[in-house]
Structure 1
Amino acid sequence: METFLILCCLISASLIIYNHVGYPILLSWYRKNRPLKLVSVALRNFKKDKGDSVLPRVSLIVPAYNEARWIQEKIRNIASLDYPREKLCVVIACDGCTDNTVELAELAIQEAICADVHLEIINFTHNRGKIAVINELVTRATSDIVALSDVSALLSIDSLQIAAQSFQNERVGVVNPNYCMTFSGKSDEEKYWQYQASIKGGEASLGATIGCHGAFYLFRRSLFQALDHDTINDDFVLPMKIVEQGYIAIFEPRINAVELEESSHKDDFKRRLRISAGNMQQVLRLFHLFKPKYASTAFTFFSGKGLRLLTPYLMMVCFVCSFLLADTPFFFFALVAQIALYSMGLACYSLPSLRSNRVMSVISYLLAGHLANFIGGIHYLLSGQKPDERPDKTKHLNI
C-alpha cells in the first residue's frame, strides 16, 4: 500500500511539474531550434494594389451583447483596417441588447471613417446567445474567410492582410493572432496571457496550435461545422473541428488583438469558472483527438488542455498521499510545503494588500485558476451547463 501511495504522489507531482514547467521549456527549446517561418507580406499602405485581386473575401462578424462602452471604438477600428473595401464585409450582430449598443453603433457607421466600409448592423430582438449568432451568420456568409472578434478587442491595421497571406497555404484552416492587453504591466492576467502567447508560439513551431482566443480569429468558411447549441468555449471547439478535418491552425504573432476591458478579481474568477466548464466539455467531446493518429496535435492537446484539466485532481492526490506518508521526512516536508503554498495563495487572494508581492500574486493567480478549473469542471459534469447559466439561454457572449 505504501509503495502505491508513493507512486501516486510522485507521478501526480511529475505531471503537475511537467504541465507548468516541463512542457513550456520543451516548446521553448523546440521553437529555438526550429523557429516559426512567417509568411512574407507586401503591405498595401492603404492604397489599391494589383495584388488586391487575389486576396480572399473576408466576412468579419462581431457578436455584441450590451457593449455600449466599446462598440463605437470597435467600429472605428474595423474601418481603419487596411484591406480592399470590396473584399470586406462587416456584420455587427447585436444579440438582444438591453442598453443603447444598437443606437451607438448606428451613429458610428455614419462617421466619415466608415463611409467606404460595408458595415451591416443586425439587431436581433431577443438574446439567443453567441453560439446561435455564430451558427446563423457564418452559414449565411458567402466569403472565402470568416473572422470572429469580440467588441472589446482592437485589431492591428494589417491583421487581414497578414491572415490572407497565411491562407495561401492550402493546409491552413485557422489563423490565431497574438492576444495582448492595455493594462498595467503588473496585471496577473496580462502576465498569464504573455505566458500563453509563448506557449502558442511553441505549439505553432511544432505545427500543432490548439484552439484560439475569442478576441479575434479567422477560418475558412467552407470548413465550418455548426456548433452544438450548448457549446461553451466556441473559440476552442470551432478551430479544433477544422483541425479534425486534416487542416492546421497556425499562430501568427504579427497579428495583434488588443483587449481594452480589464476584469476585476471577482469577474475574472467567474469568467474562469465558465471557461473551466468549457475545458471539461471540450475534452469530453473532442477526446478522440488524443489518439496517436493526430500526432503532434494529440501531444499538445494532452500536454496543454488535458493536463490543465487534471491538475486540481493531481494536486489533491499529492496532498492526500503526502498526508498519509507524513511519517517519513520527505513526504512530511512535501506536506508542509503544500500547506504553506496554499496558505500563501489564500492569504493573497483574501487580502488585496498582499498582491503587491509579485511571487505571492502569481501563486494566488495560479491557485485561483486551478480552483476555478475544479469547480467549473465538476459543475459541468453534474449539470452539463456553465456555472450561473440557465439551460435555454447564454447570459454573456464574451466567455
Structure 2
Amino acid sequence: MAHEITFWLTTASIILVIYHHVGYPLLLKILVRKPLTSAEKGATTQTTPVRGYRSSANDIDLPTISVLMPAYNEEKWIADKIRNLAALDYPSNKVHVVLACDGCTDKTADIARQTAEEALCKHLNVTVIEYEHNAGKVAVINNTMPLIQGDIVALSDISALVSIDAFYIAAHHFSDANVGVLNSRYCLINAADGEQKYWDYQSTIQRNEAQLGSSLGAHGALYFIRRELFTPLAPDTINDDFVLPMQIVKKGFRADINETIQAVELEPTNAHQDFRRRLRIGAGNCQQLMRLLPLLNPLRGGIAFTFASGKGLRVLMPFFMVTALLGSALLAPSNNFFALAMTGQITIYLAVGLCRVAGYQPKGSIAKALQYLVTGHTANLIGTLRYITGLETGRWTRVSEDSKTSNKDKSL
C-alpha cells in the first residue's frame, strides 16, 4: 500500500512539474490559435496609434493620467526619470506626476524638484510628497492614491524609463470600458545570465494568457489602472504589483497587455540581489494565492485556468519537485524509469548548486535557463516557508546595498 501511494504521488508530481514548465506554455499556444472573439481581440491589440507630438482637437478627449512613483532613496535615477516623463508624447496638461518619497534619507526629493525646473521639464506638472517615516511601498500607495485625480493611474518604478508613446497607447486601450488594467513589456539593459530569457518567457506567457481572458498581475516597472477601480491594499501585502491588478480583475474587468509599451530597467542586479528579490516574490506568491482563491472558480473560465496553471502551480512547484526527487529515490531500486528520473534530478540540482557555490556562470543557453529556473524555485520554496512561518514582513525598506532592489519586485 505504501509503495502504491509513493508511486502515484511521485508520478503525479513529475507530471505536474513537466506540465507547469512545458505543457502549460504549449497548451496556451494551442488555445490561442483559435479565432478570437471581439472581446479577446481587444486584449491583444498591438495597433499603435500615432500622435507624433502634434496637438489636435482630439486631445481634449484623451483621459488624464497620473503617474504615481513610490520612492525610497532613488537619487541616482530620479532626474533621468523626470526627464523621460517630460519627453513622452502626450498633452502635458493631462499628465500629473506624483513622486511619493517614503522617508527618504538621501536627496531624491531635492533632485526631483530641481529637475522639474529645467527648461525641458517645466511644462510637466510634478508634485513631490515627502512622508516623514519609512512605512513601506504598500502604505505609500494606500496613502497617496486618495490624493490622485487622474482618470488613469500609471504606477512606475523610478529606475525604469518609459517608451515615448506609452501614454497615448494606454489611452487607446482604456477607451474600452471593460479594460481595468494595462501592462507593458519589461526590458532589461543589464540582465543577469538567464534573467532576460526568463522575462521573455514570462512576456510570451502573459500575452497568451491575455487572449484567454486576462493577463495575470503586472510588473512594477510600469502598469496602468483605472483610478476609480483602486481598492486599498492590505498593509502586509507583499506582491502589490500582482495583487492590485488582480483585485480589479476579480471585479470583472480585463487586464490587457501591449508590448509596444516598454519599460526599460536601468538598475542592474547581481545574482545575490536577484535571489533576495525572488525570496520575497516567493513569499508573495503564497500570499496572493491564499487571498485570491475566488479566481480559481471554474465559472471564471480562462482566468481560473491560467491562474491555477500559472500562479497556483508556481507556489506548489518546489514541493512537487521535492516529492518527485524523494519518491524517485524510494522507487529507483525496483523501477528503471524512476532510477533514471532520480539520476537526472540529482545531476541537475548538484550542478546548479556547485555553480552557485563556485560563482561559475554556465555558457550554454539551456544550462543558463536551468540554473535560473532551479535557483528561482529554491528561492520560491524558502520564500513560501518564510511566509507560512511569519518571517516575511511585506516591507520594502532598503537596509543595505544588497537589498537595494527590494522595492522593485516584479511578481509576474
TM-score, normalised on structure 1? 0.95
Q: Which moved more, 1:57-66 or 1:30-39?
A: 30-39
Q: Which moved more, 1:351-360 or 1:58-67?
A: 351-360
Number of residue pairs matched?
A: 395
Report the residue type matching 1:305 in the other structure. K
Match of 1:56 among 38, 63, 72: 63
| 2:144 paired with 1:121 | no
- Alpha-carbon deviation of 1:349? 1.6
Report SS of the residue matched to 2:126: strand
Match of 2:371 among 353, 364, 369: 364
Q: Is the 8 A contact 1:152 1:260 kept in 2?
A: yes
- Alpha-carbon deviation of 1:385? 2.5
Per-residue CA shift, 1:133-172, capped at 9, x if unaligned? 1112212212211110001111001001111110111110
- Specify every segment of 5 or more residues in structure 1 that has no aligned partner in the other structure, as ranges: none
Please give the residue correspondences for 1:90-169 in structure 2 after superposition, counting only pairs within 5 Å. Answer: 90-169=97-176
Q: Which moved more, 1:215-224 or 1:117-126?
A: 117-126
The aligned residue for residue 235 of structure 1 is: 241
Match of 1:373 among 373, 380, 384: 380
- Alpha-carbon deviation of 1:375? 0.4
- Alpha-carbon deviation of 1:40? 4.2
Report SS of the residue matched to 2:332: coil
- Alpha-carbon deviation of 1:388? 8.7
d(CA) in 1 for partners of 2:377, 2:124: 44
Report SS of the residue matched to 1:229: coil
Report SS of the residue matched to 2:362: helix
Report SS of the residue matched to 1:254: strand
d(CA) in 2 for partners of 1:389, 1:172: 29
| 2:404 paired with 1:397 | no
Report the residue type matching 1:232 in the other structure. I
Report SS of the residue matched to 2:32: helix
- Specify every segment of 5 or more residues in structure 2 that has no aligned partner in the other structure, as ranges: 398-402
The aligned residue for residue 219 of structure 1 is: 225
The aligned residue for residue 13 of structure 1 is: 14
The aligned residue for residue 400 of structure 2 is: none
d(CA) in 1 for partners of 2:284, 2:395: 13
Cα 1:105–1:12, aligned 2, differ >3 Å: closer, same or farther?
Answer: same
Q: Is the 8 A contact 1:63 1:150 kept in 2?
A: yes
Q: Which moved more, 1:303-312 or 1:378-387?
A: 378-387
d(CA) in 1 for partners of 2:100, 2:185: 24
d(CA) in 2 for partners of 1:359, 1:199: 19
d(CA) in 1 for partners of 2:253, 2:347: 46
Q: Which moved more, 1:319-328 or 1:372-381?
A: 319-328
Match of 2:214 among 205, 208, 211: 208
Report the residue type matching 2:11 in the other structure. L
Q: Is the 8 A contact 2:238 2:394 kept in 1?
A: no
The aligned residue for residue 319 of structure 1 is: 325
- Alpha-carbon deviation of 1:258? 0.7
Cα 1:387–1:94, aligned 2, differ >3 Å: closer, same or farther?
Answer: closer
Identity of aligned residues (%): 44
d(CA) in 1 for partners of 2:266, 2:396: 25
Report the residue type matching 2:19 in the other structure. Y
Report the residue type matching 2:155 in the other structure. L
Report SS of the residue matched to 1:59: strand
- Alpha-carbon deviation of 1:382? 0.7
d(CA) in 2 for partners of 1:39, 1:20: 27
- Alpha-carbon deviation of 1:32? 4.0
d(CA) in 2 for partners of 1:154, 1:308: 29
- Alpha-carbon deviation of 1:180? 0.9
The aligned residue for residue 31 of structure 1 is: 32
Match of 1:352 among 338, 344, 359: 359
- Alpha-carbon deviation of 1:255? 0.6
d(CA) in 2 for partners of 1:106, 1:281: 37
d(CA) in 1 for partners of 2:204, 2:132: 41
- Alpha-carbon deviation of 1:354? 4.0
The aligned residue for residue 183 of structure 1 is: 190
Report the residue type matching 2:407 in the other structure. L
Moved over 6 A (4+): 387-390
Report the residue type matching 2:327 in the other structure. C
Q: Is the 8 A contact 1:188 1:361 kept in 2?
A: yes
- Alpha-carbon deviation of 1:75? 0.7
- Alpha-carbon deviation of 1:291? 1.1
Q: Is the 8 A contact 1:175 1:217 kept in 2?
A: yes
Match of 1:270 among 273, 276, 286: 276
- Alpha-carbon deviation of 1:357? 3.7
The aligned residue for residue 93 of structure 2 is: 86
Q: Is the 8 A contact 1:188 1:362 kept in 2?
A: yes
TM-score, normalised on structure 2? 0.92
- Alpha-carbon deviation of 1:358? 3.1
d(CA) in 1 for partners of 2:395, 2:99: 26
- Alpha-carbon deviation of 1:191? 1.1
- Alpha-carbon deviation of 1:352? 2.8
Q: Is the 8 A contact 1:39 1:165 kept in 2?
A: no
